[in-house]
């Protein structure tokens, strides 16, 4: 997954596809969402035409998405308007669930997930959000089941769920370590590593925090070479990150530690 916005002329530069197929989805306020597959044989510019929409449900959904990071209460109102106008609007139910969960309204968020599933039987994003909700409620088994369901529904591609599993096992390891069960701590850290690695692979340099979470575990387990390699990849993938100076410092400290241990 990569995210980006076009320039003023409407152009967006993406890396060419080495093999297989990549799907690009384009959204713009007031227009219908458009999607197109990109293949390795395509060269040069690819034009994706956007068509204006007068669909009130779609416009309400777009407004809700815009408000989600600004005014959650109003965002929920707009999501509700969208699903009232289009009762099987799966994306609107999912957006509503995310906002309600952020507000701590977990029961309402889970109900929105149920409605999203009624509208779309196989919906990996909905299962992933359900997993996050159960994780925040402390219901580990249900969270793991939902994340794994999302991965299965996504046919192995579901970076949000891999990240959620990584966080869950990382937190679980922290609890085991605090209680003195260091064997369980290590086993849970290993699980967290596996899932964070998969998330990084699928996110294609779009979520820097996952690198830092994985690096923290490598350092905790004294896997310094792997931590250095990961941090160097971070610097390559996120050259303009605000965390750049801190990550460079991590590398210096780890190299110093390794030289002192020789």
Q: How far apart are CA 162 and CA 62, in angstroms?
A: 27
* Residues 6+ positions from 180 with CB-CB distance below 8 Å: none
What percent of the chain is predicted at pLDDT more than 90?
78
Task: Name the E strands within the chain.
Answer: 21-26, 34-39
> What's residue 18's pLDDT?
62
Q: How far apart are CA 128 and CA 159, in angstroms?
A: 9
> What's residue 171's pLDDT?
96
Q: Which helix (H) or strand (E) holds 54?
A: none
Inform me whether the pLDDT recorded for 243 exceeds 80: yes
Inform me whether the pLDDT recorded for 25 exceeds 90: no
> What's residue 6's pLDDT?
84
DSSP state of 261: H
């Amino acid at each position: 997954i990569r995210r980006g916005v076009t320039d003023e002329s409407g152009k967006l530069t993406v890396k060419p596809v080495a093999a297989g197929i990549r799907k690009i989805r384009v959204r713009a306020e007031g227009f219908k969402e458009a999607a197109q597959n990109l293949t390795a044989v395509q060269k040069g510019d690819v034009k994706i035409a956007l068509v204006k929409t007068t669909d009130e449900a779609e416009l309400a959904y777009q407004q809700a998405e815009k408000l989600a990071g600004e005014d959650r209460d109003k965002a929920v109102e707009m999501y509700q308007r969208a699903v009232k106008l289009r009762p099987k609007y799966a994306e609107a139910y999912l957006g509503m669930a995310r906002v309600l969960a952020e507000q701590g309204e977990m029961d309402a968020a889970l109900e929105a997930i149920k409605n999203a599933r009624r509208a779309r039987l196989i919906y990996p994003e909905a299962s992933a959000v359900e997993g996050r909700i159960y994780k925040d409620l402390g219901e580990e088994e249900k969270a793991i089941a939902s994340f794994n369901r999302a991965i299965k529904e996504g046919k192995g591609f579901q970076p949000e769920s891999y990240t959620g599993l990584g966080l869950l096992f990382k937190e679980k390891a922290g609890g085991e370590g605090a209680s003195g069960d260091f064997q369980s701590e290590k086993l849970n850290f290993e699980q967290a590593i596996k899932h964070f690695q998969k998330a990084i692979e699928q996110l294609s340099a779009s979520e820097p925090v996952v690198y830092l979470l994985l690096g923290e575990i490598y350092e905790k387990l004294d896997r310094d070479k792997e931590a250095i390699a990961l941090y160097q990849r971070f610097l390559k993938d996120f050259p303009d990150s605000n965390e750049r100076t801190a990550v460079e410092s991590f590398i210096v400290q780890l190299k110093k530690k390794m030289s002192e241990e020789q």
